[in-house]
Amino acid sequence: MSFTVPYSGVSNKLGEAEIAAVVDALRSDTLAMGPRGAEFERRFADRIGAKHVQATSSCTTALFLAAQLLGLGPGDEVITTPQTFWVTTWPLQARGCGIRFADIDPNSLTLDPATIEPLITERTRSIWVVHHGGQATDMDPIMALARKYGLSVVEDCAHVPGGTYRGRALGTIGDLGCFSFHSLKNMTTGEGGALSTNSDRYAEMARALGTIHTWGDTVPRRDEHIGPYPQPAYYRDAHVRSSYTLDYRDGRYLVGNNYRMSELSAALGIAQLARLDELNDRRRAIAARLDDGLRGVPGIGLQVEKPYAHHIYHLYTIFYDPAVVGAPKDDFLRHLQEVEGIEIVLRYFPIHLLPEFRAAGHTYGECPVAERTYFEHQVQLPIYPHLTDAQIDHLIGAVRRGVAALSGEGSPR
């Protein structure tokens, strides 16, 4: 089907600056572990005001790294949101953690802090928040709970590069932040991500564990020989690492993985980072036009920008009221897609109802606000900086026509 307003496979159209940056990287003498990765890390750290940033191959690998840095494992419990892409929880499942789902605010679709404290037990170790759709979670009460109970906080920032909470960059408020630069995100490296932290220890651990090294407490070796062989005075083999000089205390250590970002991705990221404000401002302008065009339509509610947040509209969400319109949400979505040619992708099915979580004992009714909002009300319209004025007008008209048709009112005013 050809769509008048398709769901774009790229978050923004790349220009000559991005093309030149990647071509320049292709002409360099390395495509891995080169200067561009380090430069991207420095620039992104400066942009968000984080002490440390480590570029990764995806947000998923950044989340896996975060779970390892925090030492989460079997018997530990983590509280998170059901309104997210399931990958937020994969590192926790992989490490055998128990996951408890707090409920959400029905408008921002972020965690409702009031639903978190009742879930805290003696086994709770961490709270993982998701800044949904480009808008910040209300972090102050969550950080207060974390301090009260001695919990770590991880920010899933996949939707919010450039987003803020009370003037502070997201990804710098909790213990660790995890960003995505996937093709669909507000800025892109194709695939890619980053881990941010203000902790020197976490940064040191992450650098080892994210770049194919091990980590643990070490002690000096009394005899700096391997069998009869001392460390060569002249030749140095990087693969030796500290084999001659250090041993792990009690033989205990953590094994890392390769989560590095490539030089090509980093080159693209540097160019995209220079455009981040421009791209986010365009999204905000589009959202404002959509809001103006849809405000007051019976049965359509708008998402409100919270006073503490700078919303950068990775997603544009409206709330359909079937009781007002007189038809279920599915009929409205069918009208938008099949009649109006608007490609609809909803974000997100409540993940506690996925088969893997049902197998772990989670059930319908556990998060009633998230469930009711998703099944009855929540709709995402396409949004990206290269939407044309005609496409924006079509989105507004399509929603109005859909409501009018389903409510039996005829043509919209």
Residues with catalytic roles: 185
Phi, psi torsion values for 195, nearest 5 degrees: -115, 130
Best CA proximity match to 92, nearest among 365, 347, 352, 314: 352
Rounded CA separation 119/100 (Å): 7
Pairing of strands 124-130, 77-80: parallel
Rounded CA separation 33/37 (Å): 7
Rounded CA separation 191/175 (Å): 24
The answer to whether the CB of 352 falls within 8 A of the CB of 101 is yes
Pairing of strands 225-226, 193-197: unpaired
Best CA proximity match to 291, nearest among 173, 164, 399: 399
Neighbours of 251 (CB within 10 A): 7
Neighbours of 386 (CB within 10 A): 12
Best CA proximity match to 354, nearest among 73, 78, 82: 82
Is the peptide bond between 248 and the residue preceding it cis, with omega within 30 degrees of 0? no
**DSSP 8-state symbol, 261:** P
H or E stretch including 54?
Answer: strand 52-56
What are the structure tokens assigned to 34, written together? 């080169």
Beta partners for 318?
Answer: 302, 379
Residue count of the chain, please give it: 413
Rounded CA separation 358/171 (Å): 31
